[in-house]
A and B are shown apart, each in its own frame.
Chain A
Amino acid sequence: MKRLGFRFEGIAAMAGLALAWQIASYFFPPFLFPSVPAIARRFAGIFLEAAPLADALSTAARILLGLGGAFVLGAVLALLMGRSERFRRYAHPLLNFNQGIPALSWVVISIIWFKGIEFRIFFIMVMTTLPAFTYQLLDAYRSMSKELLEMTLSFRPSRLDLLRVLVLPTVMPGILTAWKVNLGNAARVVVVAELVGATGGIGYELLQQQQLFDMAGAIAWTIVLVVFVLIVQSLLGLIERWSLAYRPLAERGL
């Protein structure tokens, strides 16, 4: 009942926004507020033609690849920082410094440094999402119960077994949270990267719409990106419900 209520409220909120936009379209010219049907046609058109669909899919792939790269590198850094205080003392200021660098600076740097478009975007994605992944995974690693660690060690596990039976289940909630948080960041960054440094993708298409003063196209491409983020968020939610199935009953009272 609660889920149904939530879904109804969500749909009602989105319908309200569409209605308000449609009303605005009656009072403003189409280049400012195109009608909802016009936007819907442009949105559907993206999936009906090969070239725009390829643009949408390439952006999705860039987001997932970039996040995957940052996750792997962040996990290695977090593990090293968690295991070595000396390494943490060196890595911490560098990650903090990185956090202060705007995404646009990485775009400029990558254009100057690298020739290949795909590597440029991959580099930008990794550099902008790396600190958050590292810190979130480090926090998850550090939250590992000393009591459970001692108990597991008493059975003398191999390093691989320790990782499998204790470390991974412990950091799993942190991993999922990190992916959910960074997915939104990555979607914003990839558009900036494509806007400036790519010849295809949603960011590139948005630039085309801006040059053509085509608001319906700009909104349609934006919605494509949002829908992609929502689909991945839903998948992460499913993984979360499956892998953390032991938790809801225990924490219902919180």
Chain B
Amino acid sequence: MSAAAAITLDRVAKRFERGAAGDSELYAVRELSLSVGAGELVAILGPTGCGKSTTFNLIAGLIRPSSGSVRVMGHDPYDEFDWFRGKIGIVFQSDRLMPWRSALDNVALGLELNKCPREERRAIARAWLERLGLKGHADDFPHALSGGMRQRVGIARAFAVRPALLLCDEPFSGLDAVTGDALRREFVDLVRETGCTGIFITHSIEEALQLGRRILVFQRPARIVYEAVLDPDTSRDSRAEIRAEIRRALGGDGIP
């Protein structure tokens, strides 16, 4: 963990009302404390329903914590909504492309909302599409693209704003193994190149090992039950050991 924390969660809880009358509560996140350094790429791993996505939404400022504090780059991502314009890029599990916009206009969305001039944003969007192997598809609407191509557009859209913080919520889980592997490799290269801080939510141990420099294993309600730090020199044996530790921490939750 680096000294300059880009993300800090301090005793954060998020509860949701349950039942038709909203008379009972469910804690998706409870007493979660977490710190991510600037430029760090952290993989968060956990079984379905462990609060990974809720944590993700808290960091993205899409939901407000019930208690505790969330600080991203020293600011509250929910209350200081506008401050984060152009600073966060998100790659979601599904591509979430606007069906009425061409691939180019989808990639340019964040730049457009950031008031980037039309010609400039189109040039940037075109460059990102080419970078992700979508040359010649700029004018295609999402329905004309394959699942892998659409997800590439989604990745290009997140990177196009040159975000200081990149959040990814299982972006390759809906793709076939070959496409997923290829995109994962490209993604790691892009994160290294841009030097942004990254949070990567996954439920695949192999994906976490491949992507994360730090791996956090969550159990429900969102709390860290295991943490491992990896570097490119981590030996094959050490990785195998970490893999086994992660499996133990997950308690046989059927995660691959």
Contacts and interface: CB of A to CB of B under 8 A. Distances in A.
Of the candidates A154, A166, A169, A246, the one having the most CB atoms from chain B within 10 angstroms of its own CB is: A154
A249 to B, nearest CB: 6
B35 interface: no
Interface string B91-118: 0101010111100000001101110000
Contact of A147 (B82, B85, B92, B101): B92
B129 interface: no
B182 interface: no
Interface residues of A, number: 20
A113 interface: no
B215 interface: no
A139 interface: no
Interface in A28-62: none
Given A155-B109, A155-B114, A148 B96 contact: yes
Given A147-B96, A151-B92, A249 B81 contact: no
A165 interface: yes
B127 to A, nearest CB: 19
Interface residues of B, number: 28
Given A249-B143, A249-B144, A155 B113 contact: yes
Max count, chain B CB within 10 A of own CB: residue among A148, A153, A156, A247: A156
Given A150-B62, A151-B90, A249-B144, A156 B85 contact: yes
Interface of B: 57, 60, 62, 81-82, 84-86, 88-90, 92, 94, 96, 98-101, 109-110, 112-114, 141, 143-144, 161, 167
Given A169-B100, A250-B141, 12 more contacts: A148-B96, A151-B90, A154-B167, A155-B85, A155-B88, A156-B81, A156-B82, A156-B85, A157-B113, A165-B113, A166-B98, A244-B100
